[in-house]
Structure 1
Amino acid sequence: MPGEMILLTENMDLTPVTSRQIKSWTRKDPILSRVMNYVLQGWPESIADDDLRPYFTRKLELSLHDGCLLWGNRVVVPTPGQETIIQELYEGHPGVTRMKMLAHSYIWWPNMDSELENKVKTCHECQVNRHVPAEAPLHPWEWPEKPWSRVHIDYAGPLHGKMFLVCVDAHSKYMEVQVVNSATSATTIEKFRTVFATHGIPDTIVSDNGTPFTSEEFESFINRNGIRHIRVSPYQPSSNGLAERAVQTFN
């Protein structure tokens, strides 16, 4: 018996389904007890029982260790332990691909993949998350050669009934904060006039897709001042990392 198989069955005593339970269930199961006898005494040339067919097609890879059936290096889990195993694999809603990957490393029973797929299909949370695009790797921003060339902006708050327009210079990491009563496009434009009068008009501003930064009024103001406006993906607000970190620090 290969060492990794012995280690696998011994370590099952640390899991929700133990090797002792597997051994007991296998002995009492009408199908698995027959499979166990065939493994020990030899298989017939053919099998008519459909319940035995999944094991018959794997007969050359089946073995027995300490009363537990193994298919290759995977433990054959009897029916009483299958739901517990599925729940353990399902912890944290990892998705069907991750669940199958984990299961294929350690365990097996007939129709296991179908049962794992059905578990995910009947879970509302898994179906919602399934349609959320995977997060793509973020590409670092180039460092501007001069101050106030690219400015990252965001709103922080509310705090004590106020909102805070946060502007971060990508060159120096200098942070400018303007206090406002509400985060509207009109208020944002008013505060930008003050900021631009002090520091100059930037070449580029980077924002998320918040309402104050996506209105026609705001875009018109940006275009009139010859500013390039980069809006980060709605699924990747962390692309605006400078402003995001500033907001977290400010809060």
Structure 2
Amino acid sequence: MVQSLSHDGSDIKQLQERDPDIVCVLKWLKEGQRPPRGRMKGAGRGVRILWHEFARMALVDGVLCRVVALSDVEQTQQIVIPGAMVPEVLRHLHGGPLSAHLPVERTLARACSVCNWPSMYADIRAWCDQCYACQRRKSPVPHQQAPMKSSLAQRPFQRVAADILELPITSKGNRYVLVVEDYFTKFVNLYAITDQRASTVAECLFNRHILEHGVMETLHTDMGRQFESEVVKLLCERLGVKKTHTTPYNPKSDGMVERLNRT
């Protein structure tokens, strides 16, 4: 599996030598022993895990591996994956051509046959849980739950929706439109912006909308990265604005502004 990535043995060796946790193990192997337990106080979690696994560590063709005995006569060598390679390995393990988006336990078993890293189980579980393809493929939730209802506004600025609309780039370099609509009055404001970065969206919301029209009680958006960013959350927190969003893959609660964008 590791050989099929865009790294050969020399690349992996170089990345291991740049990884701060693995560098410690390489130093211990060169010295022939690991440091006493007392010296590990204050060390990072990754280094501590590798310290406990030191007896299984060995250099194979210059690459750090974890050697695991499968029986009295059989063993396997797991390449210790440096942190810089983990995202690529996760993509290949779970979503590669021969992976078929296996569940957590089977993805973990596949990983253990060839590689290892300190936070492997937690990383694989998080990767599988957040996998877009897997979420779309899951069976729908049974309908015993209470039906979702649209939130109705009873006064202006009680609930305001925002969305991003992409259009052909203009002569001024603007490619996107920040759409802001009040749920009660249905009044719409359109703001041309050059990009949809979180900082651009937050600055536009504050300087061009809030300062002119006032602070809304609730800001409702989809789950776009720019709206769920820390800078937008911080803006809402500082202004006392409640931030809500649509549910994943079911943006019906933001239907008002979505319908406007289609027109």
Query: As a proportion of its length, which structure holds more helix?
Result: 1
Could you tell me the TM-score, scaled by structure 2's length? 0.43
Higher alpha-carbon Rg: 1
TM-score of the two chains, using structure 1 as the length reference: 0.45
